Amino acid sequence: MSASTESAPKRPHVVVVGGGFGGIAAVRKLKRADVDVTLIDRHNYNTFNPLLYQVATASLNPGDITWFLRAIRAKQSNVRFLKGTVTAMDPVAKTLSLDGGLDVKYDRLIIAVGVTANFFGIPGADEFSLPLYRRSQALAVRDRMFANLEDAAINGQDRDLRVVVVGGGATGVETAGAFAEMRNNDMPTTYPELDTKRVHITLVEMLPHVLGPFHPRLRDYARKSLEKRNVDLRLGTAVKEVREDGVLVEHDGKQEFLPAGIVVWASGITAHSTVKAWGVPQGRGGRIETDEHLRVKGLEDVYAIGDVSVSPEEPLPQLAQPAIQGGKHVAKVIKAELAGKSAPKPFKYKDKGTMATIGRSSAVAEIKFLPRLTGFPAWIIWVALHIATLLGNRNRFATLINLTAKYLVWGSHNAIVGETPPVVALKPLTVEARSPRKGVSRSARKTAEAQAAAAAKPPTS
> What string of pLDDT tens digits covers the 461 residues of the chain?
444 555 545 799 999 999 999 999 999 999 999 999 999 999 999 999 999 999 999 999 999 999 999 999 999 999 999 999 999 999 999 999 999 889 999 999 999 998 989 999 999 999 999 999 899 999 999 999 999 999 999 888 788 899 999 999 999 999 999 999 999 999 999 999 999 999 999 999 999 999 998 999 999 999 999 999 999 999 999 999 999 999 999 999 999 999 999 999 998 888 888 898 888 998 888 899 999 999 999 998 999 999 999 887 777 777 889 999 999 999 999 999 998 898 899 999 898 889 999 999 999 999 988 899 999 999 999 999 999 999 999 999 999 988 887 777 666 788 888 888 888 877 776 666 654 444 444 444 444 445 445 444 444 43
| Residues 423/154, Cβ–Cβ less than 8 Å | yes
What is the pLDDT at residue 433? 60
What is the pLDDT at residue 438? 44
H-assigned helices in 363-441: 375-389, 393-407
Sign of the CA dihedral running 303, 306, 310, 313: positive
| Residue boundaries of the structural domains of the chain | 4-42+84-117+269-338, 125-267+353-412
Q: What is the CA radius of gyration of the chain?
A: 26
| Residues 224/173, Cβ–Cβ less than 8 Å | no
174 has catalytic annotation: yes
What is the pLDDT at residue 418? 87
The H or E element spanning position 359 is strand 353-359
- Selecting among 174, 205, 289, 366, the annotated active-site residue is 174
What is the pLDDT at residue 411? 65
Reply yes or no on domain 4-42+84-117+269-338 having CATH 3.50.50.60.
yes
Q: How far apart are CA 449 and CA 461, in angstroms?
A: 24
What is the pLDDT at residue 315? 76
What class is the 125-267+353-412 domain?
alpha beta
What is the pLDDT at residue 165? 97
| Residues 147/298, Cβ–Cβ less than 8 Å | no
Q: Global pTM?
A: 0.86
Q: Running DSSP on this structure, what letter comes out for residue 290?
A: B
Q: How far apart are CA 385 and CA 173, in angstroms?
A: 18
Residue 136 neighbours by CB under 8 Å, 6+ apart: none
